[in-house]
């Protein structure tokens, strides 16, 4: 999934970006409020991780303006301001979650996964499609009880298809959610990763779950497919 990470402390920004990418997130970054505002309005992020104490435009001002302008992306506030008053204010202005520094990376990951599920109106961390089971928390995939080992990018693609089960997703949709702003791959890399997934998910099974809709895109088999 694609995250916008807004943080002006460069060492923390670099560390968080690296950690998130290792978990399969596509991560764009912004170091001040103006850059964050431009990017948040221009791309369909799954979550914005927002520091409050930013140069140029502070985080709360950004959040207030986004909600006023119907920017509906989930926002997780990540800040050293830890008083109850600060938390209440952030949540009342439209934040979806609030995490104070210092924090454990594992907790941030869990909160981000929960927000991504909420965005897609899914509560159960385990997604089931036919005999395929995707544990979005443990990042484990099984088909017919057999564990299937996926790379972080393959897992992200499969999860994205599962979130839209029974619906066609275009190559553009996949690209916008799985690749960051600096990715130098060409758009046909989506087809390459679909082929990788099919090799692992479908080749040894009679029922094929990853379907192609020619001229439209791809979909994960729905109940009636």
pLDDT attached to residue 189: 84
Residue 46's pLDDT is what?
92
- Tokens representing 43 are 């791309």
Q: pLDDT tier at 144 (50, 70, 90 boundaries)? A: very high
Summary mean pLDDT of the chain: 91
pLDDT class of 11 with cuts at 50, 70, 90 = very high
Closest CA to 162 of 186, 127, 122, 212: 127
User: What global pTM score does this model have?
Assistant: 0.83
Instruction: Look at residue 122 in the predicted model and tell me its pLDDT.
Output: 86
Lowest mean pLDDT among 8-12, 123-127, 180-184: 180-184
Please give the pLDDT value at position 180.
75
Q: What is the mean pLDDT of residues 149-178?
A: 91
φ/ψ (deg, to 5) at 121: 60, 45
Q: Average pLDDT for residues 24-41, to the nearest whole number?
A: 95
Mean pLDDT throughout 191-210? 94
In this prediction, residue 183 carries a pLDDT of 67
Q: How far is it, in rounded angstroms, from Cα 41 to Cα 209?
A: 34
pLDDT at 81: 83
pLDDT tens profile 166-198: 999 998 888 888 877 766 666 678 889 999 999
The CA distance from 134 to 72, in Å, is 27
Q: Considering only residues 153 and 186, tell me which one the structure prediction assigns the higher pLDDT.
A: 153
Contacts of 57 (CB under 8 A, 6+ apart): 32, 33, 34, 36, 37
Give the angle subtended at the CA of 219 by the CAs of 218 and 222, to the nearest 5°: 160
pLDDT score, position 23: 85
Domains of the chain: 2-119 (3.40.50.2300), 126-220 (1.10.10.10)
Which pLDDT value is given to residue 179?
A: 77
- Residue 148 reports pLDDT greater than 70: yes
How many angstroms separate the CA atoms of 21 and 23, rounded? 5
d(CA 16, CA 211): 35
Q: How many Å apart are CA 169 and CA 14, to the nearest integer?
A: 31
């Amino acid at each position: 999934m694609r995250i916008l990470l807004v943080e002006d402390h460069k060492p923390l920004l670099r560390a968080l970006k690296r950690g998130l990418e290792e978990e399969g997130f596509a991560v764009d970054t912004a170091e001040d409020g103006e850059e964050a505002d431009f990017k948040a309005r221009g791309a369909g992020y799954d979550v914005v991780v927002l520091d409050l104490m930013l140069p140029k435009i502070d985080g709360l001002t950004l959040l207030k303006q986004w909600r006023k302008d119907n920017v509906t992306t989930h926002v997780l506030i990540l800040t050293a301001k830890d008083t109850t008053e600060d938390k209440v204010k952030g949540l009342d202005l439209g934040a979806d979650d609030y995490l104070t520094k210092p924090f454990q990376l594992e907790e941030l990951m869990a909160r981000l996964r929960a927000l991504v599920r909420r965005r897609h109106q899914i509560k159960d961390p385990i997604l089931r499609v036919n005999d395929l089971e995707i544990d979005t928390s443990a990042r484990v995939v099984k088909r017919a009880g057999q564990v299937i080992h996926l790379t972080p990018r393959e897992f992200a693609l499969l999860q994205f298809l599962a979130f839209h089960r029974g619906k066609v997703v275009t190559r553009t949709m996949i690209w916008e959610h799985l690749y960051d702003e600096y990715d130098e791959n060409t758009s046909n890399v989506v087809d390459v990763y679909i082929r990788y997934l099919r090799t692992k998910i479908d080749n040894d099974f009679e029922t094929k779950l990853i379907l192609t809709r020619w001229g439209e895109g791809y979909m994960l088999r729905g109940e009636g497919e």
